[in-house]
């Protein structure tokens, strides 16, 4: 990556934020290796306040993506300086929203034609995305279509390796009223034995139930702990802290965690009878050395939200592909996944955090988690 990029016009921008103060420390230490963990702990209150006051800014590193014929597209990371854990009031939400808008303006000033919203920026900006795109004169996408498509593809890959039939299983979708959860629920409902829709707003859950196929067995709940009754859990909420604990899950449970920050609190020692995977990830045909920011296992693995923006730029399609609420359709998911595959993107390999899910992992899981068919 070239660091002499201040005057270089770019094609796309990836807009995000740290998932936690610890993640913020990793970003600090990337640019300031002398800033160790001890200093981060000692000066936490001061650093959090400075971080809150700092406007959105672009990383100096240029992200270069090769294309056929020697061409390339380029982009930049844009940092929005807020922490999900601090958004606990309307004032804080408004401040985060303004930083999202400021980040889009930074991207536009750099010449970007499409912005990918990552993490909470897609939540606070996604509902107003069409308005923001028109006002700012730049395409904006949440990436939710590709994220949902990748999550389903990764889950299907896992079920195939386990020789599990979705028609024998109960699936819980946590965060079912959100864009990704809703899309996953609609995709899985025709195939699962039954689907449990979980979110805080019962009225929205009932609306979603009405969209489900008449043949599907659908239940709704506002209690996240009800998810532990399912053998497959899709976790796709916008929570700032984990809402499920690996320790509370039944033996034989699979969790596809699509949240950012993560929805699942992982046990310090993995439970062999529980299988948790990071969902909504793509394997890229090239490497981007930004794992200090993404916290992903390798430089070739990327979030679906960011991948969608890059793919649109590679295809020269500068459009707000995924934006607004309730507009992620099966057709949009299939089309963006097909376009991703044209450019060499594939559903990522399976990881528990940064640890690969191996055949040995799956064999041990099956041995430790046998359940009678009626308990599934």
Q: Report the distance separating Cα 112 and Cα 121, nearest Å.
A: 17
Q: What is the dihedral of CA 191, 192, 193, 198, to 10 degrees?
A: -140
Report if residue 342 sits inside a domain.
yes
Report if residue 2 sits inside a domain.
no
pTM over 0.75: yes
Q: What's residue 107's pLDDT?
A: 97
> Which CATH number covers residue 371?
3.40.50.720
Query: Does 107 share its domain with 201?
Result: no
The helix/strand/coil state of 215 is: coil
Range of the domain at 160: 149-280+348-375
Report if residue 190 sits inside a domain.
yes
Instruction: Classify the C-alpha dihedral 341-298-259-124 as positive or negative.
Output: negative
Q: What's residue 127's pLDDT?
A: 56
Query: Does 220 share its domain with 170?
Result: yes
Query: Does 240 share its domain with 360?
Result: yes
Mean pLDDT by 10 residues, the chain (376 residues): 60 95 87 81 88 92 94 96 88 90 95 95 68 87 96 97 95 96 96 96 95 93 96 93 92 95 86 95 97 96 98 97 88 97 97 94 89 56
Q: What's residue 151's pLDDT?
A: 98
The count of residues in the chain is: 376
Report if residue 26 sits inside a domain.
yes
Query: Does 203 share its domain with 241?
Result: yes
Q: Report the distance separating Cα 210 and Cα 284, nearest Å.
A: 37
Beta-bridged to residue 337, according to DSSP, are none
Query: Does 189 share its domain with 309?
Result: no
Query: Does 49 share its domain with 187?
Result: no
Query: Does 129 share its domain with 157?
Result: no
Q: What's residue 39's pLDDT?
A: 83
Query: Does 287 share its domain with 264?
Result: no
Q: Report the distance separating Cα 7 and Cα 212, nearest Å.
A: 50
Q: What is the dihedral of CA 361, 362, 368, 369, to 10 degrees?
A: 140
Report if residue 3 sits inside a domain.
no
Instruction: Classify the C-alpha dihedral 64-139-126-207 as positive or negative.
Output: negative
Query: Does 99 share its domain with 186?
Result: no
Q: What's residue 128's pLDDT?
A: 55
Query: Does 229 share its domain with 355?
Result: yes
Query: Does 239 share its domain with 288?
Result: no
Report if residue 5 sits inside a domain.
no
Query: Does 276 share its domain with 156?
Result: yes
Q: What's the structural domain count of the chain?
A: 2
Q: Can you read off the two tokens belonging to residue 155?
A: 């889950």
């Amino acid at each position: 990556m070239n660091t002499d990029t201040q005057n270089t016009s770019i094609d796309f921008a990836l807009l995000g934020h740290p998932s936690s103060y610890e993640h913020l420390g990793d970003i600090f230490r990337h640019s300031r290796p002398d800033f160790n963990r001890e200093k981060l702990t000692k000066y936490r209150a001061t650093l959090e306040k400075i971080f809150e006051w700092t406007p959105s800014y672009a990383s100096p590193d240029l992200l270069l993506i090769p294309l056929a014929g020697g061409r390339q597209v380029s982009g930049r990371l844009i940092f929005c300086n807020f922490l999900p854990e601090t958004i606990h009031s309307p004032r804080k939400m408004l401040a985060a929203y303004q930083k999202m808008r400021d980040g889009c303006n930074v991207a536009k000033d750099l010449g970007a034609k499409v912005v990918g919203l990552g993490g909470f920026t897609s939540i606070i900006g996604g509902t107003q995305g069409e308005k923001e795109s028109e006002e700012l004169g730049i395409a904006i996408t949440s990436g939710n279509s590709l994220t949902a498509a990748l999550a389903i593809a990764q889950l299907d890959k896992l079920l195939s390796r386990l020789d599990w039939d979705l028609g024998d299983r109960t699936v819980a979708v946590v965060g079912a009223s959100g864009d990704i959860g809703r899309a996953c629920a609609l995709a899985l409902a025709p195939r699962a034995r039954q689907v449990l829709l979980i979110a805080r707003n019962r009225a929205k859950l009932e609306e979603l139930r009405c969209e489900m196929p008449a043949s599907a067995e659908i239940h709704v709940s506002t209690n996240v702990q009800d998810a532990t009754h399912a053998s497959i859990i899709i976790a796709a909420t916008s929570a700032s802290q984990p809402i499920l604990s690996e320790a509370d899950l039944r033996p034989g449970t699979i969790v596809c965690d699509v949240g950012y920050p993560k929805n699942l609190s992982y046990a310090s020692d993995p439970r062999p009878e529980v299988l948790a995977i990071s969902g909504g990830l793509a394997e890229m045909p090239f490497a981007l050395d930004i794992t200090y920011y993404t916290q992903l296992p390798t430089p070739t693995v990327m979030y679906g939200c960011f991948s969608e923006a890059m793919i649109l730029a590679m295809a020269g399609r500068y459009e707000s592909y995924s934006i607004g609420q309730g507009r992620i359709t099966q057709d949009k998911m299939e089309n963006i996944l097909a376009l991703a595959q044209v450019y060499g993107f594939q559903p990522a390999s399976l990881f528990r955090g940064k640890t690969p899910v191996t055949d040995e992992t799956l064999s041990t899981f099956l041995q430790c988690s046998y359940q009678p068919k009626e308990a599934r």
